[in-house]
Amino acid sequence: MEENRQNPNPEQEQLPKFRGLYRHVKISVKALDRIIVACIAVIVILVALELRDPGFTITFDSRGGSDVAPQNQMYGELLEQPEPPTREGYTFTGWYTDAACYELWDTQNKTIETDMTLYAGWEKLE
Amino acid sequence: MTNPIANLQRVSADYKTMDKKDKKRFWTDMILNNALYILMAIFIIYTAIEQPNFLTLGSFANLITQVAAYLPLALGIAGCIVLTGTDLSAGRVVGLTAAIAGVFMQKTDFANKMFANLPAINGWWIAATLLAVIAIGAVIGLVNGFFVAKFSLHPFIVTLSTQLITYGIILWFFALNGNNGQPISGLSAEYKNFVGGAMFRLGGVAVPRYVLYAVILTALMWFIWNKTTFGKNMFAVGSNAEAAKVSGVNVFLTTMLVHTLAGAMYGYAGFIEGVRAGSVAASTGLNAECDAIAACVIGGVSFVGGTGKISGIILGVFVLRIIFVALTMLGVDSSSLYIIKGAIILCACALDMRKYLVKK
Amino acid sequence: MEQNTLLKMVGITKTFPGVKALDNVNFEVKAGTVHALMGENGAGKSTLMKCLFGIYGKDKGNIYLDGKEIDFKNSKEALDHGVAMVHQELNQALKRSVMDNIWLGRYPKIGGIAVNEKKMYKDTMAVFEELGINVDPHRIMSTMPVSQRQMVEIAKAVSYNSKIIVFDEPTSSLTEEEVEHLFEIINMLRSRGVGIVYISHKMAEIKRISDYITVMRDGKWVATEKAEDLEMNDIIRLMVGRELTNQFPPKTNVPGEVYLKVEGITGMYNQLKDVSFEARRGEIVGLAGLDSSGRTETLESIFGIRTRKEGKIFLDGKPCLNRHANESIKNGFALLTEERRATGIFGVLNIRDNTVISSLKRHKRFGLYLSEKSQREDTQRYIDAMRTKTPSQETKIRSLSGGNQQKVIIGRWLLTEPEVLLLDEPTRGIDVGAKYEIYQLILDLANKGKTVLMVSSEMPELLGVCDRIVVMSGGRVAGEVDARNTTQEEIMTLAAKYV
């Protein structure tokens, strides 16, 4: 039987006071069980929903050029070579992962790992 | 408790003496306490059936590569969690150090180089850069630690501010020299090779050098945690700061050092991040601390403070990565992955708390 | 007067994995009596009460209240049935007012929505008047001392019209005067026909207040007797299960020359004022006084974890600064703190880590790493020397009993090879058998020429163990007495000098 006396002295000198995040948590094990079950349920439901339509969507932003249809690919697959878009007064330089057109997407070797948008690169005709 | 076989025998002997009600409780406890591992097992089995190339050497190589990338952050943050704190600034520190390392390591002949007059890239320059970014990370950690230790502020608040401040610095940095916020790309081949060069191949997938670095770092952290005065003091402070103070532990110094060490780890993580992603953007490292915290909590580094093992952290990172690799292969898109990640963190904390309450 | 039985617990059994915490325990409380429940730590007193309040589910047995069988799910349900508990650790909403706390969860309402503050105030005052408590119901809990908060807790129990009130170590944070008041209240409740269960370690109190005494040992019921039929030694014998001829070991230490000298310590943030005394080698000096008389602060100031405004400390004639704990340890001081759980143990760490934390330097090899082997040896040596009961060195310290925890912490300090030991309530919350061992340890240390300063609230302990007693009062030294030829009365008079 522990005697834990509360110190009524407010001028207790400063000591680091945060001892454990759960120190003052008042929650029953039952409630925690429910949270755990709920979390697992959310995960499972989300995964199940996703699996109805598996794969990643790759959208193409032709940035002023002709439209290119989005593709749906599985993880680790290559992009199907899309039809190059056309734009008046420009030549098409390839698909880029960023809108600023620095990082070229290597359609021959790079595999799909997530949803993404590819941006068309344009060079102005002289 | 150390011998798993004896432990199992003890549990089974206990089990035989239980009545029906206790048996039911035993199983609910068992299932709930291991919920995340069971979930992982289900995902593995399902993915293995759906995607034959999941259970291959190549995919294993992919997994350990990912673990090696996420491990340093988790090792750093774990120290803060042992002190019953946390570190929300980790991701942004990774972003900043990755950007700095990236700028120093751009190809000499790259057209959009941010700083034109940097020395040619050789071993010395790479080593100097590595030390520099580790030092930068450590300084930010030191600032965190100072405010936490000196003013007894909660680490949540302190590291939230450093997170924002660091992000501001990142945005500044990306606007330097007319760069206008563009990603830093054109990383030099020497740098890419030093960090991500293939050591060997597993099932056709290259295993990069940073896997080796991660192993070395893990060994180093294990040594620090278990074999040094600093490590013992860290656990003492995390377990009971006031008792530590009375026992002659320098609480101030220990807290500072834990955060500084964590910062140094983020610095290293930033160094390899650029190579991993191919380029560094202002958003690099965003939310990286969430993965690290989740891994720690899954691995038994409890928010109760004073508990945690290096082996647990490794396990935690593995579990989290396996779940994500499996889900990615199944084609779950990244927006859902965020929700799942959130649910996993909440679940892991609830589990941690449950274990704490049941033990009490 | 025929007293009818209010509460009856029959054949209560409760098993935790590996431990039989309660084994077929019987316990009954008659209306209008005070029934003391006694036993060493871990005897099962708390577990029995927790079974009553439904905090633990019992495995076997029945509980009857007024002849009807009951099985409470939680303490709220118990409270609604008139069974209340005044906890040793108060669970109160500290930022709320007194009356909020009393009526929490059952506020009187106007029209079912708004809280009827007026009625609440009136009802609170009625209860307070009845009990002779002088507290403003609007006062915020956190601004009141612990003793008054406890009174509020009692008032709450009374306001539920409780038939049974359980007091769990109620006097551990009360001054003598407050204890008197508490006893008046208990006497009044008794005369109103309330059945009272009184759990305490303090023999003198038990003898004074109780009508019946039930003693438990190792989860078993041992005896229930009328209080007047039991002598103090009988109770101890029943609790320990063996004859305890002496409460204190024989004094064998011989004080030598003056070693520690404290001059004019005045606190920066506390009430200490000009505290001076000296202690010899091999001498045990007691620090007596009421609560908040500055005993703890004196030890902590000497050890350097409280800031001194003025004052000097001399060790063997040489001044030493003791600015922080680390420096004090280097100077050969050791401090066993009063609140073991708050500032002593590292609950989640194992016994080895708890033992070596203050003497890690001993284990350092090549200035780099800590030798596991030498840590293990040191820990084992002190487990053996203190006869600490533990399954292994890897056991977490919080699973040990209070006495064994205390032994581990004493071991921690002995490993720093101290010359001056500052012991703050070394036997608090420790059962009778273990207390004797701690006394023996203290005497052994004095025999080896160490200087021991010991704070205790238990007067007989100070008289039995110390050579000299420094009495403190209101942050000052009120006087010094020789422990061999003084009386409790003399000490009490001195302790009240500056109050």
- As given in the structure block, the two tokens for residue B157 are 């608040």
Q: Report chain B's mean pLDDT, rounded to a whole number.
A: 88
Residue A27 is assigned to a structural domain of this protein = no
* Pick from A3-12, B159-168, C277-286: least confident: A3-12
Q: If pLDDT is split at 50, 70 and 90, which confidence band does C420 have?
A: very high
- Amino acid residing at C245: T
Residue A61 is assigned to a structural domain of this protein = yes
Q: Give the model's pLDDT for residue B94.
A: 95
Q: Give the model's pLDDT for residue B260.
A: 96
User: Per residue of chain A (126 residues), what is the pLDDT tens digit?
Assistant: 333 333 333 333 333 344 456 666 667 778 888 888 999 898 888 888 888 877 777 888 888 888 888 887 777 777 777 778 888 888 888 888 777 777 777 777 777 777 788 888 888 876
Q: Do residue A43 and residue B343 have CB atoms under 8 angstroms apart?
A: yes
What residues of B are in the C interface, CB distance below 8 Å?
1-2, 14, 223, 227-229, 232-233, 235-236, 239-240, 242-250, 304-307
SS3 B179: coil
Q: Give the model's pLDDT for residue A6.
A: 33
Element (H, E) at C325: helix C325-330
| DSSP line for B71-135 | HHHHHHHHHHHHTT---S-HHHHHHHHHHHHHHHTB-TT-TT-SSTTPPP--HHHHHHHHHHHHH
Half-sphere exposure of C499 (CA within 13 A, CB side): 16
Q: In chain B, what residues touch C369 (CB-CB under 8 Å)?
A: 223, 227-228
SS3 C69: strand
Q: In chain A, what residues touch B328 (CB-CB under 8 Å)?
A: 75, 113-114
Give the CA-trace dihedral at B249, C419, A3, C245, to 10 degrees: 150
Between CA C284 and CA C465 the distance in angstroms is 7
CATH of the domain at A63: 2.60.40.4270
Examine the pLDDT at C208 and tell me if it is beyond 50: yes
Superfamily for C258-495? P-loop containing nucleotide triphosphate hydrolases (3.40.50.300)
Please check whether residue A13 touches B, CB under 8 A.
no
Q: Do residue B239 and residue C347 have CB atoms under 8 angstroms apart?
A: yes
Q: Give the model's pLDDT for residue B128.
A: 93
Residue A88 is assigned to a structural domain of this protein = yes
Q: Do residue C173 and residue A5 have CB atoms under 8 angstroms apart?
A: yes
| Topology (CATH) of C5-240 | Rossmann fold (3.40.50)
**Phi and psi torsions of B291, nearest 5°:** -60, -45
Q: Which tens digit of pLDDT belongs to each residue from B282-310?
A: 888 888 999 999 999 999 898 888 889 99
Q: In chain C, what residues touch B235 (CB-CB under 8 Å)?
A: 346, 349, 353
Nearest-neighbour CA in chain C from A3: distance (Å): 6
Please give the interface size between B and C, counted as residue pairs whose CB atoms are below 8 Å apart.
79
Locate the domains of chain C by residue range: 5-240, 258-495
Q: Which residue of B has its CA nearest to C340?
A: B243
Examine the pLDDT at B22 and tell me if it is beyond 60: yes
Q: Which tens digit of pLDDT belongs to each residue from A30-64?
A: 888 888 899 989 888 888 888 887 777 788 888 88
Q: Do residue B306 and residue C349 have CB atoms under 8 angstroms apart?
A: yes
Are C347 and A10 a contacting pair, CB within 8 Å?
Answer: no
Residue A23 is assigned to a structural domain of this protein = no
Nearest to B84 among A19, A47, A113 (CB): A19
More confident of the two residues C167 and B110 = C167
Nearest to C343 among B235, B246, B248 (CB): B246
Q: What is the ipTM for the molecules in this complex?
A: 0.79
Q: Which tens digit of pLDDT belongs to each residue from C50-102?
A: 888 877 778 888 888 888 888 887 777 888 888 888 876 666 777 788 888 88
What is the mean pLDDT of the segment spanning B85-98? 94
Which residues fall within 8 angstroms of residue B13, CB to CB, at 6 or more apart?
Answer: none
What is the mean pLDDT of the segment spanning C323-348? 87
Q: Do residue C370 and residue B1 have CB atoms under 8 angstroms apart?
A: no
Q: If pLDDT is split at 50, 70 and 90, which confidence band does B81 have?
A: very high
Q: Which tens digit of pLDDT belongs to each residue from C372-390?
A: 889 999 999 888 888 888 8
Residue with tokens 């769990």: C168
Nearest to B306 among C328, C346, C358 (CB): C346
Query: What percentage of chain C reaches a pLDDT higher than 70?
Result: 94
DSSP bridge pairs for C83: C164
Q: Give the model's pLDDT for residue B210.
A: 93
Q: Which residue of C has its CA nearest to B237?
A: C346
Q: Give the model's pLDDT for residue C229.
A: 83
Residue B37: CB atoms within 10 A of its CB come to 12
Locate the domains of chain B by residue range: 52-359
Q: Which residue of A has its CA nearest to C398?
A: A2
Residue A119 is assigned to a structural domain of this protein = yes
Nearest-neighbour CA in chain C from B293: distance (Å): 20
Please, which contacts does B173-179 make with residues 24 or more away whose CB atoms are closer than 8 Å? B173/B96, B173/B99, B173/B100, B174/B99, B174/B282, B176/B114, B177/B114, B177/B115, B179/B114
Residue A24 is assigned to a structural domain of this protein = no
Q: Give the model's pLDDT for residue A12.
A: 34
Q: In chain B, what residues touch C379 (CB-CB under 8 Å)?
A: none
Which residues fall within 8 angstroms of residue B226, CB to CB, at 6 or more apart?
Answer: B310
Are B281 and B330 a contacting pair, CB within 8 Å?
Answer: no
What is the mean pLDDT of the segment spanning B188-196? 89
Please check whether residue A116 touches B, CB under 8 A.
no
Between CA C353 and CA C330 the distance in angstroms is 20
Residue with tokens 């340093």: B72
Examine the pLDDT at C4 and tell me if it is beyond 50: yes
Between CA C356 and CA C409 the distance in angstroms is 10
Nearest-neighbour CA in chain B from C354: distance (Å): 8
| Topology (CATH) of B52-359 | ABC transporter involved in vitamin B12 uptake, BtuC (1.10.3470)
Domain extent for A67: 56-124
DSSP bridge pairs for A119: A61, A96
Q: Which tens digit of pLDDT belongs to each residue from C143-153?
A: 777 777 888 88
Nearest to C370 among B227, B250, B307 (CB): B227
Please check whether residue A45 touches B, CB under 8 A.
no
Q: Which tens digit of pLDDT belongs to each residue from C389-412?
A: 888 888 888 878 777 888 899 899
Please give the interface size between A and C, counted as residue pairs whose CB atoms are below 8 Å apart.
44
SS3 A16: coil
Q: In chain B, what residues touch C396 (CB-CB under 8 Å)?
A: none
C302, C306, C360, C397: which to substitute to probe chain B, counting the most B Cβ within 10 Å?
C360
Q: Give the model's pLDDT for residue B215.
A: 96
Q: Do residue B236 and residue C335 have CB atoms under 8 angstroms apart?
A: no
Q: Do residue C402 and residue A9 have CB atoms under 8 angstroms apart?
A: no
Q: Do residue B246 and residue C344 have CB atoms under 8 angstroms apart?
A: yes
Q: In chain B, what residues touch A21 (CB-CB under 8 Å)?
A: 84, 303-305
Q: Give the model's pLDDT for residue C234.
A: 78
Q: In chain C, what residues touch B233 (CB-CB under 8 Å)?
A: 357, 360
Nearest to A4 among C306, C307, C341 (CB): C341
Q: Give the model's pLDDT for residue B169.
A: 94
Between CA A122 and CA A94 the distance in angstroms is 8
Between CA C84 and CA B16 the distance in angstroms is 38
Q: Which tens digit of pLDDT belongs to each residue from B231-267?
A: 999 999 998 888 898 888 999 999 999 999 999 999 9
> Which chains lie within 8 Å of chain B at 3 or more CB pairs, if any?
A, C
Q: Which tens digit of pLDDT belongs to each residue from B36-80?
A: 888 889 888 988 888 787 888 888 898 999 999 999 999 999 999
Number of structural domains (chain A) is 1
Q: If pLDDT is split at 50, 70 and 90, which confidence band does C446 have?
A: very high
Between CA A54 and CA A73 the distance in angstroms is 9
| DSSP line for C415-426 | TT--SEEEEEST
What residues of A are in the C interface, CB distance below 8 Å?
1-9, 11, 13
Q: If pLDDT is split at 50, 70 and 90, which confidence band does C243 have?
A: low
Helix ranges (H only) for C344-458 are: 351-356, 372-386, 402-414, 432-447
Q: Report chain C's mean pLDDT, rounded to a whole number.
A: 84
Q: Which residue of B has its CA nearest to C306?
A: B246
